């Protein structure tokens, strides 16, 4: 049994929106949260963590991450995924979706097979919740750092063998041959996300309203931008209630663009992601993404031609940056890395908030969002 006391707990309020709670202690029994009890009622046998006035929140969820700590999802390496999971835990993430990219299809399948095997046997670190497929069903015009020769038309026959682990598929809606692909994904519980797309505003809005595609991948990046006469995919993301990923690293999106998204969405349906590559956590120097050479300097990672190639951001850093840039209340920012992605993945009954009966995935951090302790399934992560 585990108890956490003296924390500024971030919990659902009466209306469901996250608020602060400072009284009582959070009690965890095994892998589950038992609930709050008065501090004097903490069982004598419990392991007690004194949060010392720091923030106590649900563990972060990262739904878009290619790699970190020198490893990449496309390596199709079980040990590499375990190392990624450990680094994610160090940054407050307790659940994540390793993300594939537009490579040869057999390489994508190798990566998915390895993910499946790792999920069955994984111990330690952040839990793998499934896979995010970024491509290969994307637009050549907005391929970003993805290899054009590996782009192909959406075919559900390719996805069907992986229905058990694929949770999100990023694609370009204008490249879909018909509406059946998105419908089959919905039936299988797979989120279809608009990204790496050259669609116009009308096409994107139609995809949201008529095809049930309620997710946008890394808003502002690899999509048609906003102008006053041609709102583009960015306009559709801002103008609908679909969930919007954003890489809040001040490289992929300017602070003003982050504020615009926050205000346009009313602070809701926003999902902070890292979209990090293997270079995350390694510092400056050469790296790799999908067989392409990448150069990292500070917060910027680019291909040889200067194309931005994913991020080197960590989730706790993204939380801090978005908090600073928007001026939003911290509980609302925490929803963007816990409640909102959990709801998006239909996992909010299990994870995403500090409520009785939910999995004891918890992060403790300070005013600078420096992670002090991460608890996964009721156990303190010790790295």
Distance, in Å, from the CA atom of 137 to the CA atom of 169, rounded to the nearest integer, reads 9
Distance, in Å, from the CA atom of 331 to the CA atom of 353, rounded to the nearest integer, reads 11
Enumerate the active-site residues. Answer: 275
Distance, in Å, from the CA atom of 82 to the CA atom of 297, rounded to the nearest integer, reads 26
Distance, in Å, from the CA atom of 9 to the CA atom of 55, rounded to the nearest integer, reads 6
The C-alpha angle with vertex 333 and arms to 365 and 81, in degrees rounded to 5, equals 65
Which long-range contacts link 298-303 to residues 24+ away (Cβ below 8 Å)?
299/249, 299/250, 299/251, 300/251, 301/277, 303/145
DSSP state of 190: P
Residue 57 token pair: 């929140």
Residue 85 token pair: 């999971």
Distance, in Å, from the CA atom of 245 to the CA atom of 62, rounded to the nearest integer, reads 10
Please state whether 284 falls in left (phi above 0), alpha (psi between -120 and 50) or beta. Answer: beta
Ramachandran angles phi, psi of 150, nearest 5°: -100, 0
How far is CA 365 from its chain centroid? 19
DSSP state of 149: G
């Amino acid at each position: 049994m585990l108890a956490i006391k003296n924390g500024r707990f971030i919990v659902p309020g009466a209306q469901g929106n996250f608020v602060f709670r400072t009284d009582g202690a959070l009690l965890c029994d095994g892998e589950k949260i038992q609930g709050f009890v008065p501090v004097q009622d903490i069982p004598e046998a419990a392991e007690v963590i004194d949060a010392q006035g720091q923030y106590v929140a649900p563990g972060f969820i990262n739904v878009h991450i290619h790699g970190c700590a020198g490893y990449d999802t496309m390596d199709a390496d079980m040990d590499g995924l375990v190392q990624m999971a450990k680094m994610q835990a160090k940054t407050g993430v307790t659940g994540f979706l390793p993300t594939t990219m537009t490579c040869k299809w057999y390489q994508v399948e190798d990566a998915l097979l390895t993910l499946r095997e790792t999920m069955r046997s994984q111990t330690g670190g952040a839990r793998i919740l499934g896979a995010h497929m970024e491509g290969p069903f994307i637009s050549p015009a907005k391929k970003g750092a993805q290899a054009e020769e590996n782009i192909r038309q959406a075919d559900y026959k390719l996805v069907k063998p992986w229905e058990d682990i694929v949770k999100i598929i990023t694609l370009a809606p204008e490249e879909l041959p018909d509406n059946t692909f998105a419908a089959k994904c919905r039936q299988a519980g797979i989120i279809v996300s608009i990204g790496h797309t050259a669609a116009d505003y009308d096409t994107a809005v139609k995809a949201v309203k008529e095809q049930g595609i309620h997710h946008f991948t890394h808003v502002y990046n690899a999509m048609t931008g906003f102008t006053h006469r041609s709102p583009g995919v960015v306009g559709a993301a801002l103008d609908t209630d679909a969930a919007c990923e954003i890489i809040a690293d001040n490289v992929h999106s300017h602070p003003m663009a982050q504020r615009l998204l926050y205000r346009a969405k009313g602070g809701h349906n926003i999902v902070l992601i890292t979209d990090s590559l293997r270079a995350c956590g390694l510092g400056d120097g050469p790296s790799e993404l999908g067989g392409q050479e990448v150069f990292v300097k500070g917060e910027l990672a680019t291909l040889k031609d200067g194309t931005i190639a994913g991020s080197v951001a960590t989730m706790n850093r993204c939380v801090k940056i978005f908090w600073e840039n928007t001026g939003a209340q911290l509980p609302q920012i925490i929803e963007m890395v816990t409640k909102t992605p959990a709801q998006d993945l239909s996992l909010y009954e299990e994870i995403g908030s500090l409520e009785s009966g939910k999995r004891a995935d918890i992060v403790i951090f300070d005013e600078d969002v420096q992670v002090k302790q991460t608890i996964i399934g009721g156990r303190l992560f010790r790295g």
